[in-house]
Copies of this chain bind each other. A is one copy, B any other.
């Protein structure tokens, strides 16, 4: 990373790490500030004055320690992408990093966040004064004032990446959070993916709403996959959804509704008076030969597969179908589009919702396929600087549970007879 303090460097680093983890690429941030804090826990702005030789020496030592650990991390084969989170604000410092990496055969991509928008900087300063460990326990006003002085000290020596003298570096310069982007000497696929991701980020406040389709006929019979219509209770949820959304979204806020191409999501969204978009990429995980079967039938017909799936549900690919890993790959354009967009409501399926949720909430792979996402519930996610806030709104409409715990054929199956009875009664 390159840039003055309060330019969102750590935020960008956090998002990139989360995105890479979601794509199964091991990534880790090395934050030079944390190294510096072990020697100097709560420095004042003077510490960052370049004419202060002791401060200069300690800050240099922190950078060296971070880079050493980072190189070791690569050497030990611990991961694929490391982010060196620091200001790295002089040409000399960048040259040093570039040479250290080159010696270790590590490709570099310098990501500079350059921002002169005072509103954004002030917002970042306000975040920092309340969250940075550098100011733990201090008066927020004094902290903000000190932090502004620290920035001024950095400004004295700050050199933006030079488009002429540093033209041999691979870099991306993000100016005013994506208003302008300069991309230089991108060399490989991973760099191009990260750059495309960075291009699409914005920081306008917004929320994302997630809902599964209403209970379907297949949910009642305990079958997976297929393209069934809603059950009567699912239909009730569809009719209730506009009210639920209104309650969560508030008045006058515009949003766009995304559904899959399957009947149950389109039916669920059909009473919402917003623009709608159908995405094939939002279709349920393809269960291949098991499509249309119940978990009980799968266990009977494909006992080995059933057990295998429990062992590593993330990687298990249904015969002729998909794994969670496959789903993540096809969801990537959706995530990219979500990053670009503002308020979006997604009506989709259990496995798909788990994957999208895992991206925003940073859920590890081994856990995400086992998350319980109940039917007839609206989830609201609001991305904040370092985490995503979550609210859940339940519609008071009963539904079968389609959640199956590891090693069981569980609720889904047990509820089946009861549900079938209820269904038969409704029909009668």
Contact = CB atoms under 8 A, between A and B. Distances in A.
Interface stretch (A184-192, A247-255, A304-312): A184-192
Contacts of A167: 180
Interface string A167-193: 100000000001111111110010010
Copies in the complex: 2
B184 A180 contact: yes
A178 B186 CA distance: 8
Contacts of A329: 280-281
A181 B178 CA distance: 14
Nearest to A183: B181
A192 B180 CA distance: 12
A159 interface: no
Interface string A276-311: 000011000010000100000000000000000000
- Chain A, interface size category, equals 20 to 34
Contact of A183 (B182, B186, B322, B330): B182
A199 B192 CA distance: 8
A186 B162 CA distance: 23
A185 B189 contact: no
Nearest to A185: B179
A77 interface: no
Most buried by B among A179, A180, A330: A180
Interface of A: 163, 167, 178-186, 189, 192, 195-196, 199-200, 225-227, 280-281, 286, 291, 319-320, 322, 326, 329-330, 332-333, 337, 340
8 contacts: A179-B185, A181-B184, A182-B182, A183-B199, A189-B337, A192-B199, A192-B200, A291-B320
10 closest Cβ pairs, A-B complex: A181-B183, A180-B184, A182-B182, A196-B196, A280-B326, A179-B185, A189-B340, A280-B329, A192-B200, A291-B320
